[in-house]
Chain A
Amino acid sequence: MGEIRLEKVHKAFGSTVVIPEIDLEIADNEFVVFVGPSGCGKSTLLRLIAGLEDTTSGRILIDGEDMTARSPAKRGLSMVFQSYALYPHMSVYKNIAFPLKMAGADKAAIDEKVRNAARILNLTDYLDRRPGQLSGGQRQRVAIGRAIVREPKAFLFDEPLSNLDAALRGSMRLEISELHHQLNTTMIYVTHDQVEAMTMADKIVVLNAGRIEQVGSPLELYRSPRNLFVAGFIGSPRMNLVQGIEAEKMGAATIGVRPEHLQLSTESGHWKGRVGVAEHLGSDTFLHVDIDGIGQLTARADGEFALRHGETVYLTPSPERLHRFDDAGNALS
């Protein structure tokens, strides 16, 4: 079991409030991603759950039990750190065995669990090496191995992939998702990368300035962002946001349309503009189009779409995919 509930959790460092007040429920076996820009409090929230920071007020319940005052080790959680936080003076074997040794497990049990974790993570050949002799991806796997052997109620990941290069990040993302299916354990994952959030999560928690902006499945957040912040944060490239007369015409203070929901034409359409920069990704082409009175909008075209800098193009937003927001930035139904 690994059900986590936050009740009115508040955190302040002196007079600086980091988390004003948060209520959140995380179901057993769920893969939850905390996402938000730097300094939004997502790591602090994770550390509060881990017990590495004390809450200023509020309660943290794990499987219905109040853990707010418990030490990190007694919460039954494992954490994987951004820096891997491996013990550099210990071999891979000893690193993975460390939590079991601390729990007083006997040697045979330790050996079995360490070898099992090493097998799952393809680390069997590296058990005698020191962390310094491993690549970034291998180090990350050792950190995960150390987390696995404790058989925790939930795994906590604090931006675990941000020190890896892009290619490795992609494959590790997949490995962590597979591990989730294999272990069937609650996972809480912190990232500032919305692509990681969208691809891995069962549920995304979007945080901004210590507040939860929206909680939902990746597609819910993509289809129905509750406010301008979520609309701008989820989706890549970002949603186009238009204010002024064009928005007022549609009965909103701001309208939003994603690049993939703008129809392109060289003959006619809703907005007429000129092609600025065209980014060719092979499968897609992203066009940055300058439109008089609106500014620059990004539109997605297929990879073969060939228009040159300065040429005229017409953009038409799909009406059913148009997002409307009021003065306060909240979505209009």
Chain B
Amino acid sequence: MARAVSTRTRLTFTVIGWLVGFVIFFPILWTVLTSFKSEGAAIATPPQFLFFEWTAENYVEVNSRSDYLKHFMNSVVISLGSTLLGLLIAIPAAWAMAFAPTKRTKDVLLWMLSTKMLPAVGVLVPIYLLFRDAGLLDTRIGLVLVLTMANLPIIVWMLYTYFREIPGDILEAARMDGASLAKEIIYVLTPMAVPGIASTLLLNIILAWNEAFWTLNLTAAKAAPLTAFIASYSSPEGLFWAKLSAASTLAIAPILIMGWFSQRQLVRGLTFGAVK
């Protein structure tokens, strides 16, 4: 029997839901608003919410001072590259763990995840030295590699969870039908796991897009993505809140738009298996 919920309870929960949503969204809203203020209005007390002189000068200034498109392209290449490379490695790995598990599979998964518990700065020096010696500093390929490694445990975990939901019988049927291992993965497993793979892909693009530690420490100018573009507007000449906000808005806009259009896919993928 469906649980009876009164209109009043429903209303209360709706209001609470909107409030929580607003609180979470507020920093982004404030950044966007600030990007349209003059530097004076940006630091005014009390803060001005909507009634200020709107201006687009920060965007003009930011675009004249730095090459947004170059940073944008770097972000695209690095986040897409690291996610696709990660999927290429993680799909077979997750297949093995989900469909041919051993006594140690859980340990391996936990061990992989444990690498995410280590503060990244703990391995900064060795990675930096390795990158320097291999000539990978400030290169897109270097960042693709490091972000693949950083996000691989999450990709494997997510895919493993989705694959576990796929009945083993179906893969065995494919085997009986003459499918080789590669064909079994290409024709049967992957199409069945599309919602899971898509949400893994989206989530990892977002993670890689927003990653700031490695992208700031391993790049200078050539391969610097949008995170470095934002960072270049902080500190040295004092804080310019309005310009920093304009840079931030420009940096998060693409991923926000992508997230907005793919939210159904993301939610479906993230709740895959939980609701049948």
Contact = CB atoms under 8 A, between A and B. Distances in A.
Interface in B132-170: 167, 169-170
A271 interface: no
Given A89-B191, A89-B192, A72 B175 contact: yes
A52 interface: yes
Given A83-B167, A83-B169, A85-B172, A99 B177 contact: yes
Nearest to A98: B177
Contact of A73 (B169, B179, B187, B194): B179
Given A72-B176, A102-B183, A150-B177, A85 B191 contact: no
Contacts of B191: 89
Nearest to A104: B178
Interface string B25-56: 00000000000000000000000000000000
Contacts of B176: 50, 52, 72-73, 77-79, 99
B267 interface: no
Interface string A71-109: 111000111011101111100000000110011000000
Contacts of B169: 81-83, 85
Instruction: Categorize the interface residue count of chain A.
Output: 20 to 34
Contacts of A203: none
A71 B174 CA distance: 12
A81 B173 CA distance: 8
A102 B183 CA distance: 8
A72 B183 CA distance: 15
B188 interface: yes
Contacts of A50: 176
Contacts of B187: 98
B192 A88 contact: yes
A73 B177 contact: yes
A201 B208 CA distance: 60
Contacts of B174: 87, 98
Contact of A71 (B170, B173, B175, B192): B175
B178 A103 contact: yes
Contacts of B170: 85-88
A52 B175 contact: yes
Contacts of B167: 83, 85
Contact of B173 (A77, A85, A89): A85
A81 B192 contact: no
Instruction: Determine the main DSSP class of A at the interface with B.
Output: loop
A71 B181 CA distance: 11
Nearest to B179: A102
The winner among B170, B173, B188 for most chain A CB atoms within 10 A is B173
A233 to B, nearest CB: 27
A42 interface: no
A85 B175 CA distance: 12
A324 interface: no
B177 A146 contact: yes
Nearest to B190: A89
Nearest to B103: A14
A81 B167 CA distance: 12
A72 B180 CA distance: 10
Interface string A108-148: 00000000000000000000000000000000000000100
The winner among A50, A86, A89 for most chain B CB atoms within 10 A is A89
A162 to B, nearest CB: 13
A79 B192 contact: no
Contacts of A146: 173, 177
B180 to A, nearest CB: 8
B35 to A, nearest CB: 44
Nearest to B169: A85
A79 B179 contact: no
Contacts of A52: 172, 175-176
A130 to B, nearest CB: 12
Contacts of B177: 73, 98-99, 102, 146, 150
B126 to A, nearest CB: 40
Interface string A10-54: 000000000000000000000000000000000000000010100
A94 to B, nearest CB: 10
B67 to A, nearest CB: 44
A142 to B, nearest CB: 11
Nearest to A75: B176
Contacts of A99: 176-178
A79 B169 CA distance: 11
Nearest to A146: B177
Contacts of B179: 73, 98, 102
A328 to B, nearest CB: 39
Contacts of B192: 87-89
A73 B192 CA distance: 22
Contacts of A102: 177-179, 183
A99 B178 CA distance: 6
Contacts of A87: 170, 173-174, 188, 192
Interface of B: 167, 169-170, 172-179, 183, 187-188, 191-192, 194
5 contacts: A72-B172, A85-B173, A98-B187, A99-B177, A150-B178
Q: Which 6 A-B pairs have the closest CB atoms?
A: A73-B178, A102-B178, A85-B173, A99-B177, A85-B169, A89-B191
Given A83-B169, A85-B172, 15 more contacts: A52-B175, A72-B172, A78-B176, A79-B172, A83-B167, A86-B173, A87-B174, A87-B188, A88-B170, A88-B192, A89-B191, A89-B194, A99-B177, A102-B179, A103-B178
